[in-house]
Amino acid sequence: MRELFDEVAGKSPLDPQEAVRRQARNPQRKRFYTKVDVMETDGGFAVALDGRPIKTPSGRIVAVPSRAIAEAMVAEWDAQREMIDPMTMPVTRLANSVVDAVVDRVEAVRDDIAKYFHSDLLFYRAGHPTVLVEREAAHWDPVLFWAAETLGAHFILAEGIMHVGQPDAAVAAARDALPEDPWRVAALHVVTTLTGSALLALALHGGARDPEQVWAAAHVDEDFNAEQWGADEEAVARRASRRLDFDAAARILQAQAASG
């Protein structure tokens, strides 16, 4: 049982793809439960397998703050058939990580997100061809304008990949906009690491961009290259795997926004 939850939780809350690598090295296990329900707990809501709440590898009940998140987890557990595949349970994996390793270190996770404000994906632009330059601007400029107008964070852009330093005031303003709720922080960290952009994550959290817009913005260059040279099957598979974690994070942000 403990080994199963280790796999579902993943090795690190700061690396949503670590569980994918771990699962590739571990055999799947048989489904051991019959009924899956939402149950109320002191910390909110939990998933009950045959009446018993699931727990993290450290033994904590996976209590989530909203029924919507718990219901998403129930759907994941209920969808398992003869064998349990943790890679099809992204909301459960993220919830485990939040409870076991984020709630007690929110500031550290916020700091990790804030590092991206020094070298965010949106800062580094192509110089050619014109169509790529225009696509990057169309997807990325609205987010930078939003950051400047809403957050007071004015960043510097560069052509190419040569590092450019960012104003301390801009970095501080963007960091101040990060939430302090561990569930939102964890979800933002997942979005940041999967997209390479903390600004896209903030725009999603702030409602300036929806999930589809954020996902498209994060893959402008990749999509352009695929159009020119064709898509690589392994890259497509990796992207689909990352999308599961992205959608789980977006679902948690949406649930938290709905609950106030």
CATH architecture of the domain 106-259 equals Orthogonal Bundle (1.10)
The number of residues in the chain equals 260
Q: 38 vs 8, 63, 79, 168, 257, CA distance in Å?
A: 18, 10, 15, 45, 20
pLDDT by residue for the chain (260 residues), tens only, comes to 334 444 444 444 455 455 445 544 566 789 999 999 999 998 799 999 999 999 988 899 999 999 999 999 999 999 999 999 998 999 999 999 999 989 999 999 999 999 999 999 999 999 999 999 999 999 999 999 999 999 999 999 999 888 999 999 999 999 999 999 999 999 999 999 999 999 999 999 999 999 999 999 999 999 999 999 988 889 899 999 999 999 999 999 999 998 76
Domain 2-102, classified CATH 3.90.1150.10, yes or no: no
Residue 41 gets the label, from left (phi > 0), alpha (psi -120 to 50) or beta, of beta
CA-based R_g, the chain, Å: 19
Domain ranges of the chain: 2-102, 106-259
Whether 106-259 and 2-102 are alike in CATH topology: the answer is: no
Q: Supply the pTM of this predicted model.
A: 0.90
**Torsion, CA 242, CA 247, CA 252, CA 256, rounded to 10:** 130
